[in-house]
């Protein structure tokens, strides 16, 4: 297998609770992402999005990497990897500074963002992302870019994402032990949004719920920026475990049954029983769990007054969104359109889908494809990371510089 220049190829790694997915890709002319290798293996050693057994996770990742690199015929030399889990906490913050000159300069923007992120955190936590939402000059209207505006007082509203340092360290260690260095870690809500949300949806205001195996990631976008994010403690595995316990099945058997016959809205079954399993009884186990998951979402929307920020609708993605009836269950409880999101739109005109292989046009691959798309969004920025500082420090510093990447 040949090694290729860093600016051409990158590996995107989604280490999930139930599966590990690796994509190898490059950017074609007109900015279309070309996926040239796909690897997928069952995940071992991960619980609720957090690595709990390094050696088991490394072995799973090695298999997925080998599969993707063999298919691609190349070995990328760096990778971008997703991060999620219950340890992720986020909040909005405000910074205010005096403008140093009559017009706002980049120096002023840097200072006001630094002021906004000057928050006290426990020693075991680290700021992962500082994402601007909007600026104000002298308390006037919200603006996306304040550079060059005239005034005396600059205000920045930002979204700050924090995580456990040990979790970031574990991710980096696992990927390096599998044979590839990490150049960036990306919050999975951001990656999924890049893959499945249109620019129009993000601008008008949209809600995203990415249902993974161990947890679910919820986010709100407005004016092209993330306004709110939350990791919820329920994922697809909870549905599977309910069936396994309630029906006395093994977890693999319950998972297969859920995928084939599971549904969370009432339906008339042509065959009410399958392999001695009462499908109505199965519905009675799955529907309450689905209602519980969405009750967490509704609570976040109501408590934080987010309903007005999502007129473009509600987008469901992740493997858990494929459970029959889940879209309809959500639609019955919100007044905006609800759709299932798959990787189709990013890096290509909305009417074209040739840039995404058919095998990836599934909600299951939203995070992995979003990771790849973001990594290749600006090759010059992405490959700047050549410092000799410790890897964790370099990666965390890279994540914080997203404050500029997301101003585009």
For 140-170, the pLDDT digits (tens) are 999 999 999 999 999 999 999 999 989 989 9
Tokens of 158: 């930002």
pLDDT value for 271: 77
- 55-65 CB burial, b ≥16 within 10 A, e <16: eebbbbbbbbb
Overall pTM > 0.95: no
- 377-391 CB burial, b ≥16 within 10 A, e <16: beeeebeebeeeeeb
pLDDT value for 381: 39
- 233 in Cβ contact with 300 (< 8 Å): no
Domains of the chain: 2-86+165-194+361-405 (3.30.420.40), 89-162 (3.30.1490.110), 203-340 (3.30.420.40)
pLDDT value for 5: 39
Give dist(CA 329, CA 323) in Å, integer.
11
Instruction: Average pLDDT across each block of 10 residues of the chain; the chain has 408 residues. List them in order.
Output: 54 94 80 83 93 96 97 91 92 94 93 92 88 93 92 95 91 94 88 91 97 95 94 96 96 95 84 85 96 97 96 96 96 96 62 64 93 69 45 57 47
Q: What is the dihedral of CA 363, 364, 365, 366, to 10 degrees?
A: 40
Model confidence pLDDT, tens digit, residues 254-290: 999 999 999 999 886 767 888 888 999 999 999 999 9
pLDDT value for 28: 66
Helix (H) or strand (E) holding 314: strand 314-317
Count of beta carbons in the 10 Å neighbourhood of residue 254: 24
pLDDT value for 263: 95
* Rounded CA Rg of the chain: 22
- List the beta bridge partners of residue 305: none
Tokens of 258: 């859920």
pLDDT value for 100: 87
Give dist(CA 408, CA 404) in Å, integer.
8
The candidate with the shortest Cα–Cα distance to 365, out of 19, 132, 29, is 19
pLDDT value for 350: 44
């Amino acid at each position: 297998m040949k090694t290729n220049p860093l600016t051409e190829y990158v590996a995107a790694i989604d280490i999930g609770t139930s599966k590990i997915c690796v994509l190898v890709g490059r950017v074609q002319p007109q900015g279309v992402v070309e996926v040239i290798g796909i690897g997928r293996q069952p995940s071992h050693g991960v619980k609720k999005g957090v690595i709990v057994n390094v050696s088991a996770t490394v072995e799973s990742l090695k298999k997925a990497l080998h599969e993707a690199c063999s298919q691609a015929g190349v070995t990328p030399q760096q990778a971008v990897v997703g991060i999620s889990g219950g340890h992720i906490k986020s909040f909005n913050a405000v910074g205010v500074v005096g403008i140093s000159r009559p017009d706002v300069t980049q120096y002023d923007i840097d200072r006001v963002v630094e002021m906004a992120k000057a928050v006290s955190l426990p020693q075991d936590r680290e700021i992962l992302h500082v994402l601007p939402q909007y600026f104000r000059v002298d308390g006037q209207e919200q603006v996306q870019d304040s550079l060059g505006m005239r005034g005396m007082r600059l205000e920045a509203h930002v979204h700050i994402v924090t995580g456990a340092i040990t979790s970031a360290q574990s991710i980096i260690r696992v990927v390096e032990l599998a044979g590839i260095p990490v150049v960036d870690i990306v919050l999975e809500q951001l990656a999924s949004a890049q893959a499945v949300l249109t620019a129009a949806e993000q601008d008008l205001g949209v809600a995203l719920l990415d249902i993974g195996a161990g947890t679910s990631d919820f986010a709100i976008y407005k004016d092209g920026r993330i306004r709110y994010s939350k990791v919820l403690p329920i994922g697809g595995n909870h549905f599977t475990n309910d069936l396994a316990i309630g029906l006395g099945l093994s977890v693999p058997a319950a998972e297969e049954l859920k995928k084939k016959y599971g549904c969370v809205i009432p339906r008339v079954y042509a065959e009410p029983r399958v392999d001695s399993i009462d499908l109505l009884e199965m519905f009675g186990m799955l529907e309450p769990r689905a209602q519980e998951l969405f009750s967490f979402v509704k609570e976040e929307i109501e408590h934080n007054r987010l309903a007005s920020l999502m007129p473009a609708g509600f987008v469901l993605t992740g493997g858990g969104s494929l459970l029959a009836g889940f879209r309809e269950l959500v639609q019955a409880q919100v007044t905006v359109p609800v759709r299932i999101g798959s990787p189709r739109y990013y890096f290509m005109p909305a009417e074209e889908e040739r840039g995404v292989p058919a095998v990836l046009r599934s909600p299951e691959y939203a995070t992995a494809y979003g990771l790849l798309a973001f990594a290749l969004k600006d090759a010059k920025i992405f490959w700047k990371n050549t410092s000799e500082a410790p890897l964790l420090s370099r990666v965390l510093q890279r994540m914080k510089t997203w404050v500029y990447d997301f101003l585009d």
